[in-house]
Structure 1
Amino acid sequence: MNHFECFKNARKVIIEMLSDRGFTVNDEYKDIDEETLKYIYFIKSYDIVCKKNTDNSQIYVKFIYINKIKPSVLKEYITALYKDILNNDDKIILILQEKPTNTILKIAEQHDCELFDINNLQINITKHRLVPAHTLASDEEVADIMDKYNLRAIQQLPILLKSDPIVRYYNYPSNKVCKITRISETAVESVFYRYIR
Protein backbone atom coordinates (compact mmCIF):
# COMPACT_ATOMS: atom_id res chain seq x y z
CA MET A 1 0.00 0.00 0.00
CA ASN A 2 1.43 3.40 -0.93
CA HIS A 3 1.73 6.33 1.49
CA PHE A 4 -1.25 8.20 0.04
CA GLU A 5 -3.58 5.20 0.47
CA CYS A 6 -2.30 4.82 4.02
CA PHE A 7 -3.09 8.49 4.74
CA LYS A 8 -6.54 8.20 3.12
CA ASN A 9 -7.49 5.13 5.18
CA ALA A 10 -6.22 6.67 8.43
CA ARG A 11 -8.17 9.87 7.78
CA LYS A 12 -11.38 7.87 7.24
CA VAL A 13 -10.88 5.84 10.44
CA ILE A 14 -10.09 8.99 12.48
CA ILE A 15 -13.30 10.68 11.28
CA GLU A 16 -15.30 7.57 12.25
CA MET A 17 -13.49 7.44 15.61
CA LEU A 18 -14.31 11.07 16.39
CA SER A 19 -17.99 10.48 15.54
CA ASP A 20 -18.06 7.36 17.72
CA ARG A 21 -16.56 9.36 20.60
CA GLY A 22 -19.40 11.89 20.39
CA PHE A 23 -17.73 14.71 18.46
CA THR A 24 -19.46 16.61 15.68
CA VAL A 25 -17.42 16.15 12.51
CA ASN A 26 -18.22 18.87 9.97
CA ASP A 27 -18.95 17.96 6.36
CA GLU A 28 -15.83 19.85 5.25
CA TYR A 29 -13.81 16.94 6.69
CA LYS A 30 -16.07 14.16 5.43
CA ASP A 31 -16.82 15.28 1.87
CA ILE A 32 -13.39 15.60 0.27
CA ASP A 33 -12.85 14.38 -3.28
CA GLU A 34 -9.83 12.31 -4.31
CA GLU A 35 -8.00 15.19 -6.05
CA THR A 36 -8.29 17.46 -3.01
CA LEU A 37 -7.06 14.64 -0.78
CA LYS A 38 -4.05 14.14 -3.03
CA TYR A 39 -3.29 17.85 -2.83
CA ILE A 40 -3.62 17.81 0.98
CA TYR A 41 -1.29 14.83 1.14
CA PHE A 42 1.18 16.51 -1.24
CA ILE A 43 1.44 19.70 0.83
CA LYS A 44 1.63 17.60 4.03
CA SER A 45 -0.84 19.70 5.97
CA TYR A 46 -3.99 18.15 7.38
CA ASP A 47 -5.58 18.88 10.73
CA ILE A 48 -9.08 18.17 12.06
CA VAL A 49 -10.81 20.19 14.78
CA CYS A 50 -14.12 19.00 16.23
CA LYS A 51 -16.36 20.01 19.12
CA LYS A 52 -17.96 17.58 21.57
CA ASN A 53 -21.73 17.17 21.26
CA THR A 54 -22.34 17.35 25.02
CA ASP A 55 -20.08 20.25 26.04
CA ASN A 56 -17.87 22.87 24.46
CA SER A 57 -14.59 20.92 24.57
CA GLN A 58 -12.63 20.35 21.38
CA ILE A 59 -10.36 17.72 19.98
CA TYR A 60 -7.54 18.54 17.60
CA VAL A 61 -6.15 15.86 15.28
CA LYS A 62 -2.79 16.54 13.65
CA PHE A 63 -1.11 14.34 11.07
CA ILE A 64 2.66 14.54 11.52
CA TYR A 65 4.53 13.67 8.35
CA ILE A 66 8.03 13.42 9.85
CA ASN A 67 9.23 9.81 9.87
CA LYS A 68 11.32 9.95 13.03
CA ILE A 69 9.98 12.77 15.14
CA LYS A 70 12.32 14.17 17.77
CA PRO A 71 11.05 14.74 21.32
CA SER A 72 11.84 18.46 21.11
CA VAL A 73 9.77 18.82 17.91
CA LEU A 74 6.84 16.98 19.50
CA LYS A 75 6.97 19.28 22.54
CA GLU A 76 6.96 22.30 20.21
CA TYR A 77 3.86 20.98 18.37
CA ILE A 78 1.95 20.38 21.60
CA THR A 79 2.99 23.68 23.21
CA ALA A 80 2.07 25.66 20.10
CA LEU A 81 -1.35 24.01 19.88
CA TYR A 82 -2.23 24.81 23.49
CA LYS A 83 -0.84 28.32 23.20
CA ASP A 84 -2.54 29.30 19.93
CA ILE A 85 -5.63 27.13 19.44
CA LEU A 86 -6.69 24.94 22.37
CA ASN A 87 -7.81 25.37 25.97
CA ASN A 88 -6.45 23.25 28.83
CA ASP A 89 -9.49 20.93 28.80
CA ASP A 90 -9.24 20.26 25.05
CA LYS A 91 -7.59 17.08 23.72
CA ILE A 92 -4.98 16.35 21.06
CA ILE A 93 -4.54 13.29 18.85
CA LEU A 94 -1.28 13.05 16.92
CA ILE A 95 -0.96 10.64 14.00
CA LEU A 96 2.65 9.53 13.58
CA GLN A 97 4.26 7.85 10.58
CA GLU A 98 6.00 5.23 12.73
CA LYS A 99 5.54 3.50 16.05
CA PRO A 100 6.42 6.02 18.80
CA THR A 101 9.50 5.55 20.97
CA ASN A 102 9.29 5.36 24.77
CA THR A 103 10.49 8.97 25.07
CA ILE A 104 7.77 10.16 22.69
CA LEU A 105 5.17 8.15 24.63
CA LYS A 106 6.27 9.77 27.91
CA ILE A 107 5.98 13.27 26.43
CA ALA A 108 2.50 12.49 25.12
CA GLU A 109 1.45 11.11 28.50
CA GLN A 110 2.75 14.22 30.31
CA HIS A 111 0.62 16.42 28.05
CA ASP A 112 -2.44 14.12 28.06
CA CYS A 113 -2.07 13.65 24.32
CA GLU A 114 -3.07 10.54 22.35
CA LEU A 115 -0.67 9.05 19.82
CA PHE A 116 -1.56 6.70 16.98
CA ASP A 117 0.74 5.04 14.49
CA ILE A 118 -0.76 5.59 11.02
CA ASN A 119 -0.32 1.87 10.29
CA ASN A 120 -2.72 1.01 13.13
CA LEU A 121 -5.45 3.18 11.59
CA GLN A 122 -5.90 1.32 8.32
CA ILE A 123 -9.17 -0.35 9.29
CA ASN A 124 -11.87 0.54 11.80
CA ILE A 125 -11.57 -2.31 14.29
CA THR A 126 -15.03 -1.63 15.71
CA LYS A 127 -16.57 -2.63 12.37
CA HIS A 128 -14.81 -5.98 12.17
CA ARG A 129 -17.26 -8.88 12.35
CA LEU A 130 -15.31 -10.61 15.15
CA VAL A 131 -15.20 -7.56 17.45
CA PRO A 132 -18.18 -7.39 19.83
CA ALA A 133 -19.85 -4.14 20.87
CA HIS A 134 -18.05 -2.27 23.66
CA THR A 135 -19.65 0.43 25.82
CA LEU A 136 -18.97 1.94 29.21
CA ALA A 137 -21.18 0.42 31.90
CA SER A 138 -23.41 2.88 33.75
CA ASP A 139 -23.13 3.35 37.52
CA GLU A 140 -26.36 1.37 37.97
CA GLU A 141 -24.98 -1.53 35.91
CA VAL A 142 -21.77 -1.52 37.96
CA ALA A 143 -23.79 -1.58 41.20
CA ASP A 144 -25.88 -4.48 39.85
CA ILE A 145 -22.74 -6.42 38.82
CA MET A 146 -21.14 -5.93 42.22
CA ASP A 147 -24.32 -7.08 43.95
CA LYS A 148 -24.96 -10.01 41.59
CA TYR A 149 -21.41 -11.42 41.82
CA ASN A 150 -20.87 -10.39 45.45
CA LEU A 151 -17.81 -8.27 44.63
CA ARG A 152 -16.17 -6.02 47.22
CA ALA A 153 -14.45 -3.88 44.57
CA ILE A 154 -14.77 -3.46 40.81
CA GLN A 155 -11.06 -4.31 40.54
CA GLN A 156 -12.08 -7.95 41.12
CA LEU A 157 -13.52 -8.06 37.59
CA PRO A 158 -11.36 -9.40 34.77
CA ILE A 159 -9.06 -6.70 33.40
CA LEU A 160 -9.07 -4.81 30.10
CA LEU A 161 -5.87 -2.81 29.68
CA LYS A 162 -5.83 0.88 28.79
CA SER A 163 -3.57 -0.10 25.87
CA ASP A 164 -6.24 -2.39 24.36
CA PRO A 165 -7.08 -1.25 20.80
CA ILE A 166 -10.80 -0.84 21.55
CA VAL A 167 -10.12 1.12 24.75
CA ARG A 168 -7.75 3.38 22.80
CA TYR A 169 -10.28 3.76 19.96
CA TYR A 170 -12.99 5.06 22.31
CA ASN A 171 -10.48 6.61 24.76
CA TYR A 172 -12.21 4.94 27.70
CA PRO A 173 -10.87 6.17 31.05
CA SER A 174 -9.10 3.97 33.59
CA ASN A 175 -10.98 2.70 36.65
CA LYS A 176 -14.24 2.29 34.73
CA VAL A 177 -16.10 -0.84 33.65
CA CYS A 178 -16.47 -1.81 30.00
CA LYS A 179 -19.56 -3.75 28.94
CA ILE A 180 -18.89 -6.19 26.10
CA THR A 181 -21.92 -7.56 24.26
CA ARG A 182 -21.31 -10.61 22.07
CA ILE A 183 -23.94 -12.08 19.80
CA SER A 184 -23.34 -15.73 18.99
CA GLU A 185 -24.33 -17.64 15.87
CA THR A 186 -27.36 -18.98 17.71
CA ALA A 187 -28.53 -15.37 18.30
CA VAL A 188 -27.85 -15.57 22.02
CA GLU A 189 -26.59 -12.32 23.52
CA SER A 190 -23.78 -12.70 26.05
CA VAL A 191 -22.68 -9.77 28.19
CA PHE A 192 -19.24 -9.57 29.80
CA TYR A 193 -17.78 -6.90 32.02
CA ARG A 194 -14.14 -5.85 32.24
CA TYR A 195 -12.39 -3.43 34.57
CA ILE A 196 -10.27 -0.92 32.61
CA ARG A 197 -6.80 -0.54 34.08
Structure 2
Amino acid sequence: MTTAQCFFNDVREIVDPGSVMMFWKDKTGFDGWRATNLIPHPAYRLGSVHCNIGLAKTSGVFPSVYKNLGGHLEHDKPCEIFGYGSYDRGFRLPLYLQRMKVAPENRKTCNEVNESLICITFKNKEMPCNGDSGAPLICEGSVKGILSDGYVSREMCGIFRKSLTRYQILANYRLWLNEITGVFVESHYKSASYHHILIPLCLCFVFFNNIVKIH
Protein backbone atom coordinates (compact mmCIF):
# COMPACT_ATOMS: atom_id res chain seq x y z
CA MET A 1 0.00 0.00 0.00
CA THR A 2 1.21 3.50 -0.83
CA THR A 3 -0.07 6.85 -2.07
CA ALA A 4 -1.90 6.89 -5.39
CA GLN A 5 0.40 9.67 -6.66
CA CYS A 6 3.28 7.18 -6.71
CA PHE A 7 1.60 5.28 -9.54
CA PHE A 8 1.88 8.32 -11.82
CA ASN A 9 5.67 8.44 -11.53
CA ASP A 10 8.58 6.36 -12.80
CA VAL A 11 8.71 4.00 -9.81
CA ARG A 12 10.67 0.81 -9.28
CA GLU A 13 7.68 -1.52 -9.06
CA ILE A 14 9.25 -4.23 -6.89
CA VAL A 15 8.04 -5.33 -3.46
CA ASP A 16 10.73 -6.72 -1.16
CA PRO A 17 8.96 -8.01 2.00
CA GLY A 18 11.01 -7.99 5.18
CA SER A 19 14.09 -6.26 3.76
CA VAL A 20 15.60 -3.22 5.48
CA MET A 21 18.20 -2.59 2.75
CA MET A 22 17.51 -0.98 -0.62
CA PHE A 23 18.16 -3.13 -3.71
CA TRP A 24 18.96 -6.12 -1.46
CA LYS A 25 19.22 -9.60 -3.01
CA ASP A 26 19.36 -12.93 -1.18
CA LYS A 27 21.80 -15.76 -1.95
CA THR A 28 19.65 -16.96 -4.86
CA GLY A 29 19.50 -13.50 -6.42
CA PHE A 30 15.87 -12.86 -5.40
CA ASP A 31 15.26 -9.13 -4.91
CA GLY A 32 11.49 -9.01 -4.43
CA TRP A 33 8.14 -9.61 -6.09
CA ARG A 34 7.15 -7.71 -9.21
CA ALA A 35 4.13 -5.41 -8.94
CA THR A 36 1.63 -6.83 -11.45
CA ASN A 37 -1.25 -4.42 -10.87
CA LEU A 38 -1.37 -0.86 -9.52
CA ILE A 39 -4.75 0.20 -8.13
CA PRO A 40 -5.21 3.88 -7.17
CA HIS A 41 -8.35 4.88 -5.29
CA PRO A 42 -11.02 5.62 -7.93
CA ALA A 43 -11.74 9.06 -6.43
CA TYR A 44 -8.10 10.20 -6.53
CA ARG A 45 -7.05 12.96 -8.92
CA LEU A 46 -3.39 13.73 -9.56
CA GLY A 47 -2.25 16.70 -7.48
CA SER A 48 -5.02 16.33 -4.89
CA VAL A 49 -4.75 15.14 -1.26
CA HIS A 50 -8.25 13.64 -1.44
CA CYS A 51 -8.22 9.80 -1.50
CA ASN A 52 -4.46 9.75 -2.09
CA ILE A 53 -4.09 6.01 -1.50
CA GLY A 54 -3.38 2.99 -3.69
CA LEU A 55 -2.60 -0.73 -3.59
CA ALA A 56 -0.09 -2.80 -5.53
CA LYS A 57 -0.69 -6.46 -6.34
CA THR A 58 2.45 -8.59 -6.44
CA SER A 59 3.59 -11.48 -8.63
CA GLY A 60 4.21 -13.71 -5.60
CA VAL A 61 2.38 -14.69 -2.44
CA PHE A 62 3.81 -14.22 1.06
CA PRO A 63 2.38 -14.27 4.61
CA SER A 64 1.36 -10.94 6.08
CA VAL A 65 -0.26 -9.82 9.33
CA TYR A 66 -3.57 -7.99 8.92
CA LYS A 67 -4.66 -6.14 12.03
CA ASN A 68 -7.88 -4.31 12.71
CA LEU A 69 -7.40 -0.67 11.80
CA GLY A 70 -9.29 0.45 14.91
CA GLY A 71 -10.76 3.92 15.33
CA HIS A 72 -9.26 7.28 14.56
CA LEU A 73 -5.81 8.19 15.79
CA GLU A 74 -5.42 9.87 19.14
CA HIS A 75 -3.11 12.86 19.02
CA ASP A 76 0.10 13.00 21.05
CA LYS A 77 0.35 9.19 21.15
CA PRO A 78 3.82 7.81 20.25
CA CYS A 79 4.12 6.46 16.71
CA GLU A 80 6.89 5.66 14.21
CA ILE A 81 7.41 6.46 10.54
CA PHE A 82 9.62 4.62 8.05
CA GLY A 83 10.92 5.24 4.55
CA TYR A 84 13.65 5.22 1.91
CA GLY A 85 13.58 8.90 0.88
CA SER A 86 16.30 11.55 0.70
CA TYR A 87 18.08 12.28 3.96
CA ASP A 88 20.29 15.31 3.27
CA ARG A 89 20.48 18.53 1.27
CA GLY A 90 21.93 16.71 -1.71
CA PHE A 91 18.84 14.49 -2.05
CA ARG A 92 20.92 11.35 -1.52
CA LEU A 93 18.93 8.17 -0.87
CA PRO A 94 19.79 5.95 2.13
CA LEU A 95 20.97 2.38 1.73
CA TYR A 96 19.05 1.22 4.80
CA LEU A 97 15.42 1.71 5.76
CA GLN A 98 15.06 4.75 8.01
CA ARG A 99 12.74 5.31 10.97
CA MET A 100 11.75 8.14 13.26
CA LYS A 101 9.54 8.48 16.35
CA VAL A 102 6.69 11.00 16.03
CA ALA A 103 3.47 12.09 17.75
CA PRO A 104 0.38 12.94 15.63
CA GLU A 105 -1.24 16.28 16.41
CA ASN A 106 -4.82 17.19 17.22
CA ARG A 107 -6.93 16.41 14.15
CA LYS A 108 -8.29 19.96 14.08
CA THR A 109 -4.90 20.96 12.66
CA CYS A 110 -5.68 19.12 9.43
CA ASN A 111 -9.46 18.91 9.43
CA GLU A 112 -9.71 22.39 7.94
CA VAL A 113 -8.07 20.95 4.81
CA ASN A 114 -9.46 17.40 4.72
CA GLU A 115 -11.08 15.30 7.44
CA SER A 116 -9.29 12.17 6.17
CA LEU A 117 -5.87 13.62 7.09
CA ILE A 118 -3.82 13.84 10.26
CA CYS A 119 -0.83 16.15 10.64
CA ILE A 120 2.63 15.75 12.15
CA THR A 121 4.96 18.68 12.72
CA PHE A 122 8.71 18.07 12.43
CA LYS A 123 11.21 20.30 14.20
CA ASN A 124 14.98 20.86 14.35
CA LYS A 125 15.36 20.16 10.61
CA GLU A 126 14.48 16.47 11.09
CA MET A 127 11.70 15.93 8.60
CA PRO A 128 10.45 13.94 5.58
CA CYS A 129 11.84 14.85 2.17
CA ASN A 130 11.78 13.76 -1.49
CA GLY A 131 10.92 10.09 -1.94
CA ASP A 132 8.85 9.47 1.21
CA SER A 133 5.33 9.61 -0.20
CA GLY A 134 3.41 6.51 0.85
CA ALA A 135 5.61 5.78 3.87
CA PRO A 136 3.66 4.22 6.78
CA LEU A 137 2.68 5.76 10.09
CA ILE A 138 2.73 2.92 12.64
CA CYS A 139 1.09 3.28 16.05
CA GLU A 140 0.72 0.53 18.66
CA GLY A 141 1.91 -2.09 16.19
CA SER A 142 -0.56 -1.24 13.42
CA VAL A 143 -0.32 0.81 10.24
CA LYS A 144 -2.58 3.80 10.89
CA GLY A 145 -1.70 6.09 8.00
CA ILE A 146 0.46 6.75 4.96
CA LEU A 147 2.37 9.91 4.14
CA SER A 148 0.42 11.99 1.61
CA ASP A 149 2.31 15.28 1.33
CA GLY A 150 3.99 18.01 3.33
CA TYR A 151 5.21 21.57 3.43
CA VAL A 152 8.97 21.37 2.99
CA SER A 153 11.48 22.87 0.56
CA ARG A 154 11.49 21.35 -2.92
CA GLU A 155 15.09 22.48 -3.37
CA MET A 156 16.81 20.66 -0.52
CA CYS A 157 16.13 18.68 2.66
CA GLY A 158 16.55 19.91 6.20
CA ILE A 159 16.73 23.68 5.61
CA PHE A 160 13.60 24.52 7.62
CA ARG A 161 13.57 24.26 11.41
CA LYS A 162 9.91 23.28 11.29
CA SER A 163 7.71 21.60 8.69
CA LEU A 164 4.22 20.10 8.50
CA THR A 165 3.38 16.76 6.85
CA ARG A 166 -0.03 15.19 6.28
CA TYR A 167 -0.97 11.51 6.50
CA GLN A 168 -3.99 9.72 5.06
CA ILE A 169 -5.87 7.95 7.89
CA LEU A 170 -6.40 4.35 6.77
CA ALA A 171 -9.48 3.76 8.92
CA ASN A 172 -11.35 6.12 6.59
CA TYR A 173 -10.69 3.76 3.67
CA ARG A 174 -11.67 0.51 5.40
CA LEU A 175 -14.53 -0.32 3.01
CA TRP A 176 -12.46 0.28 -0.12
CA LEU A 177 -9.50 -1.71 1.24
CA ASN A 178 -11.79 -4.61 2.12
CA GLU A 179 -13.38 -4.49 -1.32
CA ILE A 180 -10.03 -4.72 -3.09
CA THR A 181 -8.15 -7.15 -0.81
CA GLY A 182 -10.90 -9.01 1.00
CA VAL A 183 -8.53 -9.58 3.94
CA PHE A 184 -7.23 -6.19 5.14
CA VAL A 185 -9.05 -6.07 8.49
CA GLU A 186 -8.64 -9.73 9.42
CA SER A 187 -7.02 -10.30 12.83
CA HIS A 188 -4.96 -13.36 11.91
CA TYR A 189 -2.32 -14.49 9.39
CA LYS A 190 -3.34 -14.92 5.78
CA SER A 191 -1.38 -15.61 2.64
CA ALA A 192 -2.05 -12.71 0.32
CA SER A 193 -0.52 -11.08 -2.71
CA TYR A 194 -1.50 -7.64 -1.43
CA HIS A 195 0.90 -6.35 1.22
CA HIS A 196 -0.15 -3.61 3.64
CA ILE A 197 3.28 -2.15 4.34
CA LEU A 198 4.54 -1.55 0.82
CA ILE A 199 7.16 1.20 0.61
CA PRO A 200 8.20 1.48 -3.08
CA LEU A 201 10.98 3.78 -4.23
CA CYS A 202 8.54 6.57 -5.02
CA LEU A 203 10.46 9.72 -5.92
CA CYS A 204 7.42 11.97 -5.53
CA PHE A 205 7.86 14.03 -2.45
CA VAL A 206 8.96 13.03 1.09
CA PHE A 207 11.80 11.33 3.59
CA PHE A 208 13.83 11.75 6.80
CA ASN A 209 16.88 13.79 7.75
CA ASN A 210 19.23 12.87 10.63
CA ILE A 211 17.32 9.83 11.89
CA VAL A 212 18.01 6.32 13.18
CA LYS A 213 19.53 3.78 10.79
CA ILE A 214 18.11 0.26 10.98
CA HIS A 215 20.55 -2.58 10.38
TM-score (norm 2): 0.25
Say which structure is richer in helix. 1
Larger radius of gyration: 1
TM-score, scaled relative to structure 1: 0.26
Bigger relative CO (Cα 8 Å, ≥ 6 apart)? 2
